[in-house]
Chains A and B, each alone.
Chain A
Amino acid sequence: MPYLMKSQALRILIGRLGRALSVSFWVMVISFAIMRIIPGDPASARLGAGAEMEAIEELRKTLNLNGSIFSQFTNYVMGLLQGDLGTSLQTGRTVIDIVSSTLPLTLYLIIFSTFFALLLSIPISTSIAWYAKAPIVYVFRSVTAVILATPNFFIAMIGILIFTVRVNWAPVFGYDPQFPQNLKYLWLPILVNTLIMTSVISRVLFSSVTETKEEEFVETGIIRGVGRRRFFWFYILKPSMAPTVVLLSYMMGTMLGATVILETIFSLPGIGRELVNAVLTSDYPMVQGILLIFGVITVFLSFTGDVIAYLLDRRVKI
Chain B
Amino acid sequence: MSINPLVSIKDLKIEVRVTRAKRLSIVDSASFEIESGKIIGLIGESGSGKTMLCRSLVGTLDRRGAYIAAGQLIFDGIDLIAAKQSVWNEIRGKRIGYVPQSALAGPNPVMTIGAQLAEAILQDENFPKSDVEKRSLELLNIVQIRRPETVLKQYQHELSGGMKQRVMIACAIAQQPELIVADEPTTGLDVTVQAEIMELLKQIRKDFNTSIILVSHDLPLINEICDDIVVMHAGTTVEKIPSKLIKTSKHPYTIALYNSRIDLVEPKGQLKTINGQPPSVGNWPAGCRFSERCDFVKDKCRVKQDLPLIEIGSNHQTSCLRYDEIAR
A223 at the interface (CB under 8 A from B): yes
What does the 1/0 interface line of A192-221 toward B look like (CB < 8 Å)?
000000000000000000000001110111
CA distance A239 to B108 in the complex (A): 8
Interface size on B, residues (CB 8 A): 32
B111 at the interface (CB under 8 A from A): yes
Interface positions, chain B 58-108, Cβ under 8 Å from A, are 58-60, 63, 88-89, 92-94, 96, 98, 100-101, 104-108
What does the 1/0 interface line of B107-144 toward A look like (CB < 8 Å)?
11111100100011001000000000000000000000
Instruction: Quote the shortest CB–CB distance from B264 to chain A (angstroms).
Output: 30
Contact B109 A315 (CB under 8 A): yes
Interface positions, chain A 230-249, Cβ under 8 Å from B, are 230, 234-235, 238-239
Instruction: Quote the shortest CB–CB distance from B103 to chain A (angstroms).
Output: 9
A224 at the interface (CB under 8 A from B): yes
Question: Which residue of the partner chain B has the closest CB to A2?
Answer: B153
Instruction: Quote the shortest CB–CB distance from A158 to chain B (angstroms).
Output: 37
Contact A313 B93 (CB under 8 A): no
Contact B105 A224 (CB under 8 A): no
Question: Which residue of the partner chain B has the closest CB to A132?
Answer: B65
Q: A235-B108, A238-B110 are in contact. Are A220 and B168 (CB under 8 A)?
A: yes
Instruction: Quote the shortest CB–CB distance from A251 to chain B (angstroms).
Output: 23
B155 at the interface (CB under 8 A from A): yes
CA distance A230 to B119 in the complex (A): 9
CA distance A314 to B109 in the complex (A): 7
Interface centre among A216, A220, A312 (most CB of B within 10 A): A220
B34 at the interface (CB under 8 A from A): no
For A234, the chain B residues whose CB sits under 8 A away are 108, 110-111, 115
B244 at the interface (CB under 8 A from A): no
Instruction: Quote the shortest CB–CB distance from A221 to chain B (angstroms).
Output: 7
Contact B105 A216 (CB under 8 A): yes
Contact B58 A223 (CB under 8 A): yes
Question: Which residue of the partner chain B has the closest CB to A238?
Answer: B110
A318 at the interface (CB under 8 A from B): no
Q: Is the interface of A mostly helix, strand, loop or mixed?
A: helix
B219 at the interface (CB under 8 A from A): no
Contact B153 A219 (CB under 8 A): no
Contact B110 A314 (CB under 8 A): yes
Question: Which residue of the partner chain A has the closest CB to B123?
Answer: A225
Contact A224 B93 (CB under 8 A): yes
Inter-chain contact total with CB atoms closer than 8 Å:
71
Contact A223 B60 (CB under 8 A): yes
Instruction: Quote the shortest CB–CB distance from B145 to chain A (angstroms).
Output: 18
For A166, the chain B residues whose CB sits under 8 A away are none
A222 at the interface (CB under 8 A from B): yes
Interface positions, chain A 264-318, Cβ under 8 Å from B, are 312-315
Instruction: Quote the shortest CB–CB distance from B105 to chain A (angstroms).
Output: 3
Q: A223-B92, A224-B92 are in contact. Are A216 and B101 (CB under 8 A)?
A: yes
Contact A224 B98 (CB under 8 A): yes
Question: Which residue of the partner chain A has the closest CB to B98?
Answer: A223
Instruction: Quote the shortest CB–CB distance from A296 to chain B (angstroms).
Output: 31
Question: Which residue of the partner chain A has the closest CB to B155?
Answer: A314
Q: A225-B93, A239-B108, A313-B110 are in contact. Are A217 and B60 (CB under 8 A)?
A: no
Q: A226-B119, A238-B110 are in contact. Are A217 and B105 (CB under 8 A)?
A: yes
B171 at the interface (CB under 8 A from A): yes
Q: A222-B92, A223-B58 are in contact. Are A216 and B100 (CB under 8 A)?
A: yes
Interface positions, chain A 88-106, Cβ under 8 Å from B, are none
A6 at the interface (CB under 8 A from B): yes
Contact B60 A225 (CB under 8 A): no
CA distance A278 to B110 in the complex (A): 47
Question: Which residue of the partner chain B has the closest CB to A233?
Answer: B110
State which of A215, A220, A230 has its C-beta within 8 Å of the C-beta of B98.
Answer: A220
Contact B100 A314 (CB under 8 A): no
Contact B110 A224 (CB under 8 A): no
Instruction: Quote the shortest CB–CB distance from A224 to chain B (angstroms).
Output: 4
State which of A6, A217, A223, A312 has its C-beta within 8 Å of the C-beta of B108.
Answer: A217
A positions within 8 Å CB-CB of B: 3, 6, 215-217, 219-226, 230, 234-235, 238-239, 312-315
B positions within 8 Å CB-CB of A: 58-60, 63, 88-89, 92-94, 96, 98, 100-101, 104-112, 115, 119-120, 123, 153, 155, 157, 168, 171, 181
Since A225-B88, A225-B123 are in contact, a sample of 14 more A-B pairs with Cβ atoms closer than 8 Å, ordered by chain A residue number, is: A215-B104, A219-B60, A220-B100, A220-B108, A222-B63, A223-B92, A223-B93, A224-B98, A224-B171, A225-B89, A225-B93, A312-B110, A313-B110, A314-B157
